[in-house]
Homo-oligomer: A and B are copies of this chain.
Amino acid sequence: MLLPPVIEKFVLHFGEMGGRWGINRTVGQIYALLFLSDRPLNAEEITEALGVSRSNVSMGVKELEAWRLVRKRHLPGDRRDHFEAPDDIWQIVRTLAEERRKREIDPTLSMLRDVLMETPSSPEERHAQGRMGEMHELIELLVGWSDDVQKLNNESLMQLLTLGASVSKLLDIKSKISGFVGGKRRSAGSEESS
């Protein structure tokens, strides 16, 4: 790998972190490289920059495309594919949230729905189903919220984030104004406890 030190540090870090995030080292490095690059890179350039095999790069960009974190780009007069990472980091956050949800949350939700349909045949199972019900409700709430937030534009999203904890004050104000919580969906408490 022969990169400016600043870029190299970042790329190596993403490679290491890749492990924790469920993607492999090479994939992390490719993304890091493209994220920092000021122009689309072709597979050959990536191969040289990272010192990994050509085929490995091929697999890597494919995976990143599946995550929608990287786009193919055709430069006029060049037959080779070029790759780039979208610029808008807010959009990146949305994409990440969406894809992770699809992979990590949705399968669990569907399993929970299945299991909750079955009839318990012992107190032990009844208790277990109760717990699963709690979990299901909570996840649905989180997913619904996430869906809603996805739709916000960059500015509103930033406002929301900047607001932080003072949101609770805001909630107070709102309930005073409207007398009830307008967007209310469902009650989900944690009244059960050992």
Measured CB to CB, the residues of A under 8 A from B are 4-7, 9-10, 13, 17, 19-22, 35-38, 84, 87-90, 93, 103-104, 107-108, 111-112, 114-115, 118, 120-125, 127-129, 131-132, 134-135, 138, 141-142, 144-145, 147-149, 151-152, 154, 156, 158-168, 170-171, 173-174, 177, 181-186, 188-190, 192-194
Given A6-B128, A93-B138, A149-B164, 5 further pairs, Cβ under 8 A: A35-B131, A145-B162, A152-B167, A164-B183, A173-B174
CA distance A183 to B104 in the complex (A): 33
Is the pair B38, A127 in contact by a Cβ cutoff of 8 Å? yes
Is the pair A145, B118 in contact by a Cβ cutoff of 8 Å? no
Chain A interface helix/strand/loop/mixed: helix
Enumerate chain B residues within 8 angstroms of A184, measured Cβ to Cβ. Answer: 162
Is the pair B36, A127 in contact by a Cβ cutoff of 8 Å? yes
Minimum-distance CB pairs A-B, first 5? A148-B165, A148-B164, A36-B128, A166-B183, A38-B127
Is the pair A149, B165 in contact by a Cβ cutoff of 8 Å? yes
CA distance A190 to B174 in the complex (A): 30
Q: Which of B37, B87, B132 contacts A192 (CB 8 A)?
A: B87
Enumerate chain B residues within 8 angstroms of A162, measured Cβ to Cβ. Answer: 141, 145, 181, 183-186
Report copies per complex: 2
Given A108-B13, A118-B5, A174-B170, do A20 and B152 touch, yes or no (CB 8 Å)?
no
CA distance A177 to B169 in the complex (A): 13
Is the pair B10, A138 in contact by a Cβ cutoff of 8 Å? no
Is the pair A161, B141 in contact by a Cβ cutoff of 8 Å? yes
Is the pair A141, B115 in contact by a Cβ cutoff of 8 Å? no
CA distance A156 to B181 in the complex (A): 12
Is the pair A7, B128 in contact by a Cβ cutoff of 8 Å? yes
